[in-house]
Chains A and B, each alone.
Chain A
Amino acid sequence: MADPMKIRAQMKGDTADIRVLMSHAMETGQRKDNAGNTVPAHYIQSITVDVGGKRVLQGQTGPAISRNPVFGFKVKGAKAGDKVVINWVDNKGDKRTDEATIG
């Protein structure tokens, strides 16, 4: 199973600053391994973020997002203590959901 995400969520004024690190190979399908075999495409395809029970962000990603993706974004009107739930699904159907609390 995929490693947990690292989520940091901090209020700055009236806006929550949220950063997330995801553990994922983000294989393009064009790379060859040491043995010369093409490594199949394997990448996160969709991302959702809920804050305080509301969907604030949804994204779609292709293999050109760097390996071990990092995303940063901001949510106005969120407050300390709100729960942040981030989910990703990749092109093979693997998925992962992690949570953090806004500090």
Chain B
Amino acid sequence: MDAFRRTLLKGAGATGAIAAALAAGVLKPSQVLAAEINRAAFEAKDIAGALKGIGASGAAESKDVVIRAPDIAENGAVVPVDVASNIPNTISLAVLVDKNPFPLTSAFDFANGAVPEMALRVKMGQTSLVEVVAKTADGKFYIAKKEVKVTVGGCGG
């Protein structure tokens, strides 16, 4: 589990706080996972807030963060997005949709041989930039953006 020390996912200092809470008997172990969710980032209502939530404000734009997504999505309910980082020592990837009510869709941490590459499907309510953030082991952030047009929105379901 140590491999995941420096992830995007934990809010700052969360791990220590949880350990302390567990020790004090305030939290049951079953609550730990939920408590670790980076709520600030997932509940942010704009892209700036979401990026801040994962610590990625001011991430450098990079062509080595690769986004494969349709130029125009057939249906916003299911937009296939493949993301990857060619930056050495990438340990996390986060996928954001600018114009969604909550831009952060998901974030993933990789370790023990997992390649920093992820295929997923997201909902998009309207035409928007899809933004992907890569984090490296030395704590640097890189970002890439791609516009996906949506004619049939997908936030109803």
Question: Are A and B in contact, CB atoms below 8 Å, in the complex?
Answer: yes
| B123 sits at the interface (CB 8 A) | yes
**Which residue of A is nearest B110, CB measured?**
A57
Contacts of A61 in B (CB 8 A): 105-106
A53-B33 Cα distance, complex, nearest whole Å: 19
Size of the chain B interface, CB-CB below 8 angstroms: 44
Interface size class of A (residues with CB under 8 A): 35 or more
Asked whether, in the complex, the Cβ of B119 is within 8 Å of the Cβ of A70, the reply is yes
B106 vs chain A, min Cβ distance (A):
4
Asked whether, in the complex, the Cβ of B114 is within 8 Å of the Cβ of A66, the reply is no
A8-B148 Cα distance, complex, nearest whole Å: 29
Asked whether, in the complex, the Cβ of A65 is within 8 Å of the Cβ of B110, the reply is no
B123 vs chain A, min Cβ distance (A):
5
Asked whether, in the complex, the Cβ of B113 is within 8 Å of the Cβ of A75, the reply is yes
Contacts of B7 in A (CB 8 A): 58
Per-position 1/0 for B80-117, Cβ under 8 A of A: 00100000000000000100111011111111111101
A58-B7 Cα distance, complex, nearest whole Å: 10
A49-B108 Cα distance, complex, nearest whole Å: 11
> Interface SS of chain B: helix, strand, loop or mixed?
mixed
A77 vs chain B, min Cβ distance (A):
4
Asked whether, in the complex, the Cβ of A62 is within 8 Å of the Cβ of B78, the reply is no
| A10 sits at the interface (CB 8 A) | no
Report which of A55, A58, A65, A93 forms a contact with B121, defined as CB distance below 8 A.
A65
A89-B121 Cα distance, complex, nearest whole Å: 18
Report which of A15, A30, A58 forms a contact with B155, defined as CB distance below 8 A.
A30
Asked whether, in the complex, the Cβ of A57 is within 8 Å of the Cβ of B109, the reply is yes
Contacts of A54 in B (CB 8 A): 111-113
Chain A contacts to B: CB under 8 angstroms: 15, 19, 28, 30-31, 45-46, 49, 51, 54-67, 69-78, 89, 91, 93
Given contacts A15-B115, A51-B112, A65-B120, 12 further A-B contacts (CB under 8 A): A30-B101, A46-B36, A55-B1, A56-B114, A57-B109, A57-B111, A58-B4, A62-B106, A65-B122, A70-B120, A76-B113, A77-B113
